[in-house]
Amino acid sequence: MPTITLKFDLPEDRCSADVAVHAMGFALSCHELDNELRKYLKYGHEFKSADHALEEIRDSLFHIMADYGVSLDMID
């Protein structure tokens, strides 16, 4: 089975290394948020306005990412 080795010059490439190491967490967060958005489109929602929807979805994104141990703060 082929292997891939990623090399980073630390500490200068810390951000890139963190993102690479946590890539699955970022991908799974996107997948879960996509499923949530699909549910809203398919079954409806109770958002009172576009701003309310954006706030709730953004909060949801942050909670989902936290569940996977990732954060937008990892990206500079």
Q: Note whether residue 43 is domain-resident.
A: no
For the chain, what is the domain count? 1
Residue 17 lies in a domain: no
In a domain, 5, yes or no: no
Q: Compute mean pLDDT per 10 residues along the chain, 76 residues long, and list them.
A: 94 92 97 98 96 97 98 88
- Domain coverage including residue 59: 49-76
Rounded to a whole number, what is the largest CA-CA distance in the chain?
A: 52
Global pTM value: 0.85
